[in-house]
Amino acid sequence: MERRGTAAVVLLAVAALAAAEAQLSPAFYDAICPALQPTVRRGMAQAVQKEPRMGASILRLFFHDCFANSSDGSILLDDTPSFTGEKSAGPNANSVRGYEIIDGIKAQVDASCNATVSCADVLALAARDSVFLVYGYAMLSSSSSTNAG
């Protein structure tokens, strides 16, 4: 009986250690895909420059991907012969936009990183960059002018 207790404690300690090692990191792709962040930022910069409202659209796309259970990129799924993807599903049809922006960025990322980056991660980075591109400079300048006076 004592062995089981010891084994359980060891198992829990190993599981806790593994969970601690599996934390999210902004540097996760730095070694395997160093072009990831510049590629996403460049794609978003082009999209926002072409149409400034696209920044908000990408943020909304990210929200709709994440609000149910998790951010898994499922809102980016295309139709197949036996499956209706999220892009054309009733609630999303003519509601969210920016799919083509994310698809284009994902294609560029796949070309330079051998398809090692998930759709969900590309969407998360694009949403982050869209907020910065649309609001970042204004927020920085208004915050620094507020603190100066």
Tokens of 43: 């794609």
Q: Which two tokens stand for residue 59?
A: 């943020």
Answer yes or no: is 78 a known binding residue.
Answer: no
Half-sphere exposure of 85 (CA within 13 A, CB side): 12
Is there a binding annotation on residue 65?
Answer: yes
Residues 42, 60, 64, 87: which is the catalytic one?
A: 64
Confirm whether 119 is a catalytic residue: no
Residue 103 marked in a binding site: no
Say how far apart CA 7 and CA 143 lie, in whole Å: 54
**Known binder of ligand: residue 79?**
no
Quickly list DSSP for 19-45.
HHHT---TTTTTTT-TTHHHHHHHHHH
Residues making up the annotated binding site are: 65, 72, 74, 86
- Active-site residue set: 64
- Numbered residues of the known binding site for Ca(2+): 65, 72, 74, 86
